[in-house]
Amino acid sequence: MGACFNSMVVEGNATKDQVSGAFDARCHQDGYDRGHSYSGSFSEFKGLEFQDTIFATYDEAKEYLLEYGQKWGPAIAVRYRHIEPSAMILKHDRARSKLQQKIWIAEAFVGGAKQKARINNRSSVPSYVTKAEKKLARIQKSVQPKIDARTAKIAAVYAKLSAKSKDVQWLIGGWCSS
């Protein structure tokens, strides 16, 4: 028996009663659609618990739910400041993704080289594996600082926008048995 994380957003500055109503409706619908037993749906939650903390971003709110949600427990409702991503954030995110892709391609190349060595029953590490690993290390060394810089810029812009944002939304979630 496993667990899966489920969440939903209640738009706008809803009251706790409105959030409870939206949660109850989702539980009822999920129970109707998927059943009430080990379905990994909202119907598995044992009630709803509210937290008073307002998180700066959606990601911080979700991290909290991932860490403190309990299987067989209630769903948790937290608030976060809703921010529409600016063009600057999207630009930095695309650039960061392209940089990250370089590392993933190099990692895949190393994995392919190691797989080739296993298929050929090579007991010693072949030179093509060593070369691939060195290339990966060079790429990581040159690209990772750029990724970190882009991430820091995104975080700074989000923090600035979050401080100005008055729009608060609810995130409801937790772990469901499946």
The reply to whether 61 and 103 lie within a common domain is no
Q: How far apart are CA 20 and CA 96, in angstroms?
A: 38
Tally of domains in the chain: 2
Which band of pLDDT confidence, cut at 50, 70 and 90, is reported for residue 139?
A: very high
The reply to whether 40 and 93 lie within a common domain is no
Reported as a single tens digit per residue, the pLDDT across 37-83 is: 555 567 778 889 999 888 888 889 999 999 998 887 888 999 998 87
The reply to whether 170 and 149 lie within a common domain is no
The reply to whether 80 and 18 lie within a common domain is yes
Its domain, for residue 158, covers 87-164
Q: What predicted TM-score, i.e. pTM, was given to this entire model?
A: 0.59
The reply to whether 100 and 55 lie within a common domain is no
For strands 48-55 and 75-81, give the pairing: parallel
Q: How far is CA 100 from CA 94, 124, 126, in A?
A: 10, 30, 27
The reply to whether 27 and 11 lie within a common domain is yes
CA atoms within 13 A on the CB side of 107: 6
